[in-house]
Amino acid sequence: MTSRSMSVVRVGAAWGLVGILVCVFGAAHTGRAAAAPSGSARRAGRPAARHAVPVVAAPAQPDADSSEASEARETFQSLFGRDVARARGTAASSDDLVVAKRLLEVAGDATASPAFLALLCDEAYALAAPHAAGQATAAGAMELLAEHVPDRAEEAKARLASLRGEPAEPSPDEATPPAKPGAPAEPQQSAEPAATRKAELDALLATIEKKKEAGALVEAAGLCREAQALARRIQDARLGAIESAAEALARRIGLERRARDVRAMLERQPENVAVREGLVRLYLVNLNDPKRAAEVLEGVEDSGLRKYVPAAAKPLDEAPALACLELGEWYAGLAKRAPECAKADMYARAKAYLGRFVSLHKTKDMSHVRAKVAMEKVEEALAARVPAAGDASRTKASATSTSGIEDGVIKPGRWVNLLPLVDPEKDAVSGTWKRRGNTLLLTDQVKTGRIVVPVVPDGDYHLQGKFMRTSGSFDVYWHLPVRGWVVGFFLSVRSGEYGGLKEVNGMNLKDTLPGASHVVSPSRLENGRVYTVDITVRGEDETVTIAVHLDGKPYVRWSGEPEDLSLWSGWALPQRGAFGVGAWESQVTFRHLRLKMLTGEARLLRPEDADAGAADADGARPSGAVAPAP
């Protein structure tokens, strides 16, 4: 590294501090990783891969202890950190491509510095690959990486194959040996069965979830890219959900990288209060991680952070009543100033704390009123919240026409929003139910609180919903009509001991034999967290199959005769063949509920309400949910 370059590093580092702090609550939260092609790239019509795309391992990072690697990172951050952050913080693909081309150009002049060249090529690829117009730049970056960094050559070639829709070159021990003279020709392999391809995608999605749980976010993002390519190739209905999940993961990776950079800067400047408070807010708000915020709190001057972060870092169920009220109001204030992508998390925490206060503080005094009013404002904010950029790229605003509903009947093949059809005054069976915007709230903790969703299906269907339990610890419930019979799907029965379908063969969950596929134990829910449920009901001959996914993961599955299904009378609805939702001694918000008939049709109990039903023209699913294969 020349003295001139090092002087640039020192000057750039000073500006890097300003850039990072500005980004903490700025638009850069929309940063994308290479594993998450944008919606614009998908719509641009990039041809689908013709072969299965190989699973590409996460980019190998330079050795963290290497002085060359450290110097490379500092140089890159000082010269290009702000440009990359700015490009990732805008929705325009042209911004990504301009920076990507510049990085590739510079990489061509850095062939004598492998660690620096690798950073340049990786960032150029990350910015360019998601866009159809950036394929040449992304390919050029990988070709340069393969040529000048031998340790990364195989990975770069695999990425090139992925870009071009080609299979990766097999390793020598996997290559097909030449045929012996006179040996009969191998028969041509038939097309890969659809079931096999879907099973391959299911396994890939399960691996992604394991990587995320283990904190291997970059590796999970790489696998997300492969899942997108495979889903696109086989035209799987889960493609939109996979892309939404990939974008959310890419945002998380960008934030984690920014947090790492700010933390490194804090280690060099431990007395810099502005940097410390910026890091605390980054952990607390953008990453929704108060525990890590508490780890770097010492030295912060902001009185609110000093007071509330330590309490927020503790489990919700350990917070005393008065602390819950103050924390709920504090989080509501944070939500108002948070970036759009973080608002829902902040409001959800606010609602969880306020809900816990209401459940613990039984005296109807001023504090009780204060909490109820704050809760209503939080719920209104959640209902009116504009979708985050990543959500907007996947879902269209709900239509208000009756598309998908004809003469009070829902035809097959279209998603129809069911929540606008629910009228709490007409449909509530037990408990106090309210509508706020497009959400449905059970606001008191009663036994078997339930409400009718006034739609009666006659045929196979796919039901999707998003919900959040705000207080209590017991059941959340869906009333499922199944070919003239009914069954309930439950989560968190007996404070999380069981979950699943009940009753089957007249047996309650706790009495069902261990290992039954329709029962899960334990089945715990975290208050304040949004969950996504996908339920598919299909019939064939005399049997029916019910498959439930929770947050994109297989949860329960059952096949048998519909006559084997039943439901305790305490959960029954007046309109036995209709859908319904509810909860036991818990407050719940249902934020999304929609239906797609796969065969047959569904009938509205009140056809005059058809104008309230919103059909989703593009069949988009709730953000971040990966639905079961149809």
How does pLDDT run across 284-343, given as a tens digit for each residue? Answer: 999 999 999 999 999 999 999 999 999 999 999 888 988 999 999 999 999 998 888 888
Place of tokens 């614009």: 40
pLDDT given for residue 43 in this prediction: 34
The domain of 609 spans: 405-616
| Tokens matching residue 227 | 């899942």
Inside any domain, residue 630: no
CA angle centred on 358, ends 293 and 430, rounded to 5°: 125
Inside any domain, residue 188: no
Inside any domain, residue 267: no
Whether 559 and 508 map to the same domain: the answer is: yes
Whether 423 and 343 map to the same domain: the answer is: no
> What's the CATH code of the domain at 598?
2.60.120.560
Inside any domain, residue 274: no
Whether 212 and 320 map to the same domain: the answer is: no
Backbone conformation region of residue 488, classed left if phi is above 0, alpha if psi is from -120 to 50, else beta: beta
Inside any domain, residue 182: no
Give the chain's largest Cα–Cα span. 93
Whether 580 and 523 map to the same domain: the answer is: yes
Single residue among 394, 419, 439 that ends a domain in this structure? 394
Tell me how many domains the chain contains.
Answer: 3
CA angle centred on 234, ends 229 and 240, rounded to 5°: 60
Whether 446 and 472 map to the same domain: the answer is: yes
**Following CA atoms 492, 496, 501, 502 in sequence, which dihedral angle do they give, to the nearest 10 degrees?**
-100
pLDDT given for residue 231 in this prediction: 84
Whether 533 and 568 map to the same domain: the answer is: yes
pLDDT given for residue 463 in this prediction: 94
Inside any domain, residue 472: yes
Q: Which residues of the chain have pLDDT under 50?
A: 1-65, 168-176, 178-181, 183, 185-191, 386-402, 614-630
Whether 423 and 523 map to the same domain: the answer is: yes
Kindly report the length of the chain.
630
Inside any domain, residue 368: yes
Single residue among 213, 234, 259 that ends a domain in this structure? 259
Whether 446 and 556 map to the same domain: the answer is: yes
Whether 358 and 254 map to the same domain: the answer is: no
Nearest of 144, 132, 138 to residue 159 by alpha carbon = 138
Q: How far is CA 466 from the centre of its chain?
A: 12
Whether 245 and 126 map to the same domain: the answer is: yes
Please tell me the pTM assigned to this model.
Answer: 0.42
Whether 475 and 413 map to the same domain: the answer is: yes
Whether 511 and 490 map to the same domain: the answer is: yes
Inside any domain, residue 563: yes
> Dihedrals φ, ψ of 165, to 5°?
70, 30
Q: How far apart are CA 499 and CA 524, in angstroms?
A: 8
Single residue among 341, 367, 394 that ends a domain in this structure? 394
Q: How far apart are CA 35 and CA 247, in angstroms?
A: 8
Q: How far apart are CA 80 and CA 122, in angstroms?
A: 13
